Amino acid sequence: MADRYLILEDGSVYLGEGFGSPAVSTGEIVFNTSMTGYQEIITNQIYHNQIIAFTQPTIGSYGINHDSYESILPTVKGVVVRDVASISTNRQRRWSLDQYLKQQNIPGISHIDTRHLAKQLRASGPMKASIVDVADAHAFDQLGATVLTNQQVAAVATPKPFPNPGTGLNVVVVDFGLKHGILRELSKRRCNVTVLPYTATTEEIINLDPDGVVLSTGPGKPQDLPASVLTMIQNIQNRIPLFAIGLGHELFAMANGAQIMKLAPEHHGANHPIREVITNQIIYASQGQGFVVDPDTVDRDKLITTFVDLIDGTIQGLRFRDFPAFSVQFFPDGAPGPIEARDVFDEFVESMQQARGPVW
C-alpha cells in the first residue's frame, strides 16, 4: 500500500496508507461515531461530496453485502479510518471495503489518528479536506481554490418521479436525496409509494391523491433550496398527514417560521440518547446532521417539540399543533443503528389510517 496524505484546509497534514481507489479527491470532512454500519453510512446520500472519518478504530470487518445499501451508488468523496480490516468474514459479504471503494472510485486512507482528527474537527467544525499523494504547497493551493457545491440536493435527488408499488396506503415521498431505509420501512407497511423530485409542486402532489406525504432526508444546507419547497410544505401540511425526516424536518421547521442554524459539533453517529417528550421514554437512533432548528425561533403556539437530544438539548422532533404533520431530525429507519425509532413510521401509518377513516 502506498503512502498517502489527508490534508485539511487549516494546513494540517495526516500521513496514512491508501486503500480503495487511488484517486485524488476533495470534499468537506466530517467524523462519524457509529461503531457499525459503515456501508449504510458510506452509501447515505446525506454525505454527498463529503469525506467521512470513522472514529471506530476498525472499519470493514464484515465487508460489503447486498442488503445494506442506502442508495444505488455512493457519492462520498473519501473514507478515513484508523485501521481497515484486511479480513472480513461475514457470510453475507460479497466484497471487502477495499474492493468496493475501488469499484466505486472512492479513495480511502487508513492509519490515520482518527481520535486526534475527531478532536480537531470537534473544535473547528467540518472543513475542506483532500486525500492526496503528495502534501506539498501545490496540493494546499488546489484545496484552497476548490469551491464546494451547494447544490447537493439537485445532484442526488431523483430528477423524475418513480413508483415503488404496494397494496396499502398511498404515500408520496418527496425526494431530497432519500436513504433507502425510508422506502424500505414504507414497503414493510405495504405502502404504495410514488417518489417525486424535490421540485414537485403542491398540485403535482395533490393530483396523486396521497393518504400521506413524506419529506425525505438529504444532504446540504436547507437554506440553499428554492423557496418554492417551503410554499409546497405550507400548502400540503394542513391537508394531508405529513412526516418529515432529516433535511425534510429542517424544511418543515423553516416552512413554519423557525430558523435553522449550524450545529457544532455536528451529530454523526448512533449514540445520542433522545427523549420522546410525550412519554418521557429514551430512545437511540442514528443521526447525521450539520444543522439544527434554533429553539428560540420555534413558535410554541404552532409547533410542539416532540423529541429532544439529551447530550446537547437540541430539538430532534417537531409536530404541528393543529393537524397531523410531524418531523424527526434523526433517522428512524434504523439503517444503520438502533431500530427502536422505527415506531415513528407506525405512528405515521396510523395517522394516515385515522385521517382516512375506518375501512368498513
Q: In the complex, which residues of this chain contact another protein (CB under 8 A)?
A: 277-280, 304, 319, 321-324, 343, 346-347, 350-351, 353-354, 358-360
Name the minimum Å distance from CB 348 to another protein: 10
Closer to another protein by CB, 132 or 245: give it: 245
Residue 311 is given by DSSP the state: T
Q: What would the 3-class secondary structure string for 230-261 be?
A: HHHHHHHCCCCCEEEECHHHHHHHHHCCCCEE
Name the minimum Å distance from CB 40 to another protein: 24
Closer to another protein by CB, 2 or 359: give it: 359
333 has catalytic annotation: yes
Name the minimum Å distance from CB 116 to another protein: 42
- Annotate 54-72 with DSSP letters as a single string: E-SSEE-TT-B-TT--SSS
Phi and psi dihedrals of 114, rounded to 5?
-70, -20
The verdict on whether residue 63 carries a ligand-binding annotation is: no
Q: Residue 249 and residue 214: Cα distance in Å, rounded?
A: 10
Q: Residue 295 and residue 300: Cα distance in Å, rounded?
A: 10
Closer to another protein by CB, 224 or 343: give it: 343
Name the minimum Å distance from CB 345 to another protein: 11
The verdict on whether residue 257 carries a ligand-binding annotation is: no
The verdict on whether residue 20 carries a ligand-binding annotation is: no
The verdict on whether residue 334 carries a ligand-binding annotation is: no
Exactly one of 175, 211, 309, 333 is catalytic; name it.
333
The verdict on whether residue 220 carries a ligand-binding annotation is: yes
Q: Do the beta carbons of residue 191 and residue 17 sit within 8 Å?
A: no
Closer to another protein by CB, 87 or 359: give it: 359
CA end-to-end span of the chain: 66
What is the helix (H) or strand (E) element at residue 115, kind and residue range?
Answer: helix 114-124
Query: Looking at 106-152, which runs of residues are DSSP E strands?
Result: 107-110, 127-132
Binding site residues, as ranges? 218, 220, 247, 290-291
Binding site residues for L-glutamine, as ranges? 218, 220, 247, 290-291
- So which residues are the catalytic ones? 333
